Amino acid sequence: MCCNRLLTTVTDPKTPVIEIRDLHKSYGALEVLKGVDLVAEKGHVVSMIGSSGSGKSTLLRCANLLEDSQQGEIRFEGEPIAWNGTGHARHPSDKAQVTRIRTNLSMVFQQFNLWSHMSILQNVMEAPVHVLKRDKADVEAKARGYLDKVGIGDKCDVYPAQLSGGQQQRAAIARALCMEPRALLFDEPTSALDPELEQEVVKVIKDLAREGRTMVIVTHDMRLAADVSDHVVFLHQGKIEEEGPPDQLFGAPKTERLQQFLSATAA
């Protein structure tokens, strides 16, 4: 039985896909997350904004269990992560649970992370075939479909170095989609791109949002956050300074710190 088929139990549609409560994360004496809550409902887009070092990417990595947190609860579709130990000794106790959840929370990174020695089609197919043990012919058909979806269906047989940055990021999105995850996690998906190539990726993300996909996006692009989000979280120094619907946060920010941040990003 492959990893993602383990998640076959029917969950209440009102149960959040991701639910994080009172999360704390430190690197040694440096406290990066200081009791953060985050909820991503099914079919919703949650964007996290804030200055560099505010804890956005760390929170995303903790949600995907790429980083261990020291305190707090993480639930995936209502299922709590099982932990051993406390504080800096805390780590997930069930490796099978971690694998299962990671395969259902596909992450798109800032730097694409494509394998340079594989064609674009091979990159997209690799995890579904070798991690999820799916039928190769079926995966190939789906991979080609997802590459068409992100607008690079004609690039199946080329290698990452032959693509622009925008095309590489779209390939990374197709790779994430081919896992057929419950949610997509984006960590600054456009920050490594120049403005023209950035818009290629923004269009794909907006299309995914219109399809009703569950997404959590860490972004420096305020326009993207305003356009696609159901909920926006503003992190400052490891805490949620302000959160709410995008029209509220961008149209009528309540806190002085968010006002300052938006003024700086608009400059």
DSSP 60-119: HHHHTTSS--SEEEEEETTEEPPEESSGGG-EES-HHHHHHHHHTEEEE-TT----TTS-
In the predicted structure, residue 42 carries a pLDDT above the cut 60: yes
Cβ density class 221-259: b for 16+ within 10 Å, e for less = bbebbbebbebbbbbbebebbbbeebeebbeebeeeebe
12 by Cβ neighbours in 10 Å (0-12 / 13-18 / 19+) ranks as: exposed
244 part of a folded domain: yes
**Count of domains for the chain:** 1
In the predicted structure, residue 2 carries a pLDDT above the cut 50: no
167 part of a folded domain: no
In the predicted structure, residue 3 carries a pLDDT above the cut 60: no
61 part of a folded domain: yes
Residue 15: give its domain's CATH number: 3.40.50.300
| pLDDT score for 243 | 97
Mean pLDDT of 88-104: 95
174 part of a folded domain: no
Of 2-6, 88-92, 128-132, 199-203, minimum mean pLDDT range = 2-6
Give the span between the Cα atoms of 119 and 159, in whole angstroms: 4
200 part of a folded domain: yes
Grade residue 169 by pLDDT with cuts at 50, 70 and 90.
very high
Grade residue 196 by pLDDT with cuts at 50, 70 and 90.
confident
In the predicted structure, residue 265 carries a pLDDT above the cut 60: yes
223 part of a folded domain: yes
Tokens of 67: 């980083």
Residue percentage of the chain with pLDDT more than 90? 90
In the predicted structure, residue 184 carries a pLDDT above the cut 50: yes
In the predicted structure, residue 5 carries a pLDDT above the cut 90: no
pLDDT of 212-223, one tens digit each? Answer: 999 999 999 999
235 part of a folded domain: yes
118 part of a folded domain: no
Higher local confidence (pLDDT), 9 or 149: 149
Q: Which domain holds residue 242?
A: 3-104+181-266
C-alpha 163, offset from chain centre: 23
Mean pLDDT of 51-73: 96
Give the span between the Cα atoms of 226 and 231, in whole angstroms: 9
Residues 12/78, Cβ–Cβ less than 8 Å: yes
Of 90, 33, 40, residue with least CA distance to 82: 90
Grade residue 7 by pLDDT with cuts at 50, 70 and 90.
very low
| pLDDT score for 88 | 94
Give the span between the Cα atoms of 145 and 140, in whole angstroms: 8
Name the β-bridge partners of 215.
Answer: 45, 184
In the predicted structure, residue 39 carries a pLDDT above the cut 70: yes
